[in-house]
Homo-oligomer: A and B are copies of this chain.
Amino acid sequence: MSLRLAVLASGTGSNLQAILDHVHGRDGIAVVAVGSDKPEAPALARARERGIPTAAFPLADHPDRAARDTALADWLAGNGAELIVLAGYMQLVTPAFLARFPQAVVNVHPALLPAFPGLRAVEQALAYGVRVFGVTVHFVDEGVDTGPLILQRALELPHARVPEDVLPQLHALEHELLPEAIRLIAQGAVRVDPADARRVLLDP
């Protein structure tokens, strides 16, 4: 098996680091490009340290989102990316971008979707008073966190009151689940159900 993947990140890049530490260079999986909307994102520095090509595509450098995403997609495709992993990438990608990488853009979200899509998911969950938090890895579609689910894992914290009670363990869970999803995709163990595009089948 082999898989060439690209990672897009806006922030510190801790999910990127988990990918670099746990899947990059193993089992035929290689991170071939790391992009960002922010030139100063620490994620880019992490990638450069590993000798991985990086580039930033700030919206301000392009006429509009469509043009930015075209340039981004061209750069990713030029680096041979087969799978695009959004790992704390704080931009929505355009439908045209998704069409360039069909069923090959995945995102990690800090909630058990369909609950609490969008920004500040943990804050939303705390405001609702949930006892169970969690992480979802899903294919990206044209909605906000609405695409078919690949993996989810729960985190039971019945006494959590503030984000600090949740985030350290939730981030640790992301750092497990996202590499696991990438490994499963590389193994060919993740398939969209031919009978129902909403459902993803996992080989046992």
Contact = CB atoms under 8 A, between A and B. Distances in A.
Nearest to A137: B131
A112 B132 contact: yes
Interface string A120-148: 00000001111110100000000000001
- Give chain A's interface residue range (CB within 8 Å of chain B): 20 to 34
Nearest to A146: B128
A54 interface: no
A38 interface: no
Nearest to A126: B199
A114 B115 contact: yes
Listed residue (A112, A129, A134, A154) with the most chain B CB atoms within 10 angstroms of its CB: A129
Listed residue (A132, A156, A159) with the most chain B CB atoms within 10 angstroms of its CB: A132
Nearest to A158: B202
Each complex incorporates copies of this chain amounting to: 2
21 contacts: A112-B112, A112-B132, A113-B130, A115-B115, A127-B199, A128-B198, A129-B148, A129-B149, A129-B199, A129-B200, A130-B149, A131-B152, A132-B134, A132-B152, A132-B154, A152-B156, A152-B158, A154-B154, A154-B156, A159-B202, A159-B204
Given A112-B154, A132-B134, 14 more contacts: A114-B128, A127-B198, A127-B199, A129-B149, A129-B198, A131-B151, A132-B152, A134-B154, A151-B158, A152-B156, A154-B154, A154-B156, A158-B202, A159-B202
Interface of A: 112-115, 127-132, 134, 148-149, 151-154, 156, 158-159, 198-200, 202, 204
